[in-house]
Amino acid sequence: MTAEKNGLFDEVLKKLKRHDSWVILCHENPDGDTLGSAFALYSLGKREGKSVMIVCPDSLPDTFSFFPHAAELRVTKSLPAGEVRNALLAAVDISTEKRTLANMPELLSACADSVNIDHHGDNTMFAATNLVVPSASATAEIITALLSAYGKGITEGEASALYTALVTDNGNFRYNSTSVESHGCAQLLLEAGAKPTEIDDRINENMTDKILRLWGLALSRTELFAGGKCALFWLRGFEIDGADADSNALDGLINMLMRIKGVKVALFLAEKNGNNKLSVRSRAPYSARDLASRFGGGGHQNAAGAKISGGFEDTLASVKKEAEKYVAFGNTSAQ
């Protein structure tokens, strides 16, 4: 598996074995990958009798409440430095220290040691050891390899969490990140007891009618521009709140835009807590990451996002304008 070929794989494995205390971090607005990968690691730590903590700045979406030890997630925006003093800080699926606890600089210097386990190509390499494998379709591939190499097996609960993480990040093996290694990882997880149909029922066939109607509202606003290469829709904060949407209720919605024939760049603007969250998807030759970076964001080549402050209407107009320019001029700076 690719992850094992990374020169830092063994170093991370040694650090996990050496430290008796792990503080595992997830990213904000947590998705299946950060949570499934982190809970699998947390469960291994528990089995090994380590002192483990799993921390996320935002709460656990209901969909993932079947993960092992799900009720033990500590939801907080920051941690007292004293709580990490003797611990290995393990960041899971976090591309930048800005996407997790607010006092990361303090925690990184206070902790006994730190590892950063991730697959984002634009990872800022903020930890002491940065095991970043951009070819992995999910951080779950790296965590699965670590658990296998650790030598204590993978439980059925861990396999279910990791399989969820894997398929939510690679779109059920549809995205171009899907590789031989993704399927190799799935094989290991199925052998360890993961049940694809049960997991799919939990994560994809589990929507409330309110959320389905919210998706419908967004879909009804679909707008094509830039000669049909760009597609966009949007949702206001009160609409999202009115549907009791939690942080993953809108996951996958943007992909509906990519189903339109000829669309190369999809954009979804959602208002959240007075801020604007932009999601971007792309097909070659366009880069979602490049476009998101124009708004201070980042992510993967074909799936990225940005947080944009300012009024909703103005932000929507500037997103459209910037996307139009980007598609017209591509990666050149000719604007």
Site residues, Mn ion (CB under 5 A) = 33, 93, 139, 169
Q: What's the closest the beta carbon of residue 228 comes to Mn ion, in angstroms?
A: 30
Question: Which stretches does DSSP call E strand in the chain?
Answer: 21-25, 51-56, 74-75, 88-92, 113-118, 129-132, 223-225, 230-235, 265-272, 275-282, 298-299, 303-308
Q: What's the closest the beta carbon of residue 223 comes to Mn ion, in angstroms?
A: 29
Q: What's the closest the beta carbon of residue 37 comes to Mn ion, in angstroms?
A: 8
The pair of three-digit structure tokens given for residue 207, joined into one six-digit string: 């929507």
Instruction: Kindly tell me which of 229 and 281 has the beta carbon lying closer to Mn ion.
Output: 281
Determine how β-strand 303-308 pairs with β-strand 275-282. antiparallel
**Of 206, 182, 168, which is closest to residue 32 (Cα–Cα)?**
168
Instruction: List all residues 6 or more positions away from 290 whose beta carbon is below 8 Å from its beta carbon.
Output: 326, 331
Q: In what order do the strands lie in the sheet with 129-132?
A: 74-75, 51-56, 21-25, 88-92, 113-118, 129-132
**Eight-class DSSP state of 170:** T
Instruction: Kindly tell me which of 136 and 253 has the beta carbon lying closer to Mn ion.
Output: 136
Instruction: Kindly tell me which of 139 and 279 has the beta carbon lying closer to Mn ion.
Output: 139
Q: What's the closest the beta carbon of residue 115 comes to Mn ion, in angstroms?
A: 16
In whole angstroms, give the CA distance from residue 297 to residue 213. 29
In whole angstroms, give the CA distance from residue 274 to residue 241. 12
Q: What's the closest the beta carbon of residue 331 comes to Mn ion, in angstroms?
A: 24
Separation in Å, CA 16 to CA 115, 154, 260: 9, 16, 45
Q: What's the closest the beta carbon of residue 230 comes to Mn ion, in angstroms?
A: 25
Instruction: Kindly tell me which of 72 and 251 has the beta carbon lying closer to Mn ion.
Output: 251
Instruction: Kindly tell me which of 306 and 323 has the beta carbon lying closer to Mn ion.
Output: 306
Instruction: Kindly tell me which of 142 and 226 has the beta carbon lying closer to Mn ion.
Output: 142
| Residue nearest to Mn ion according to CB distances in the complex | 33
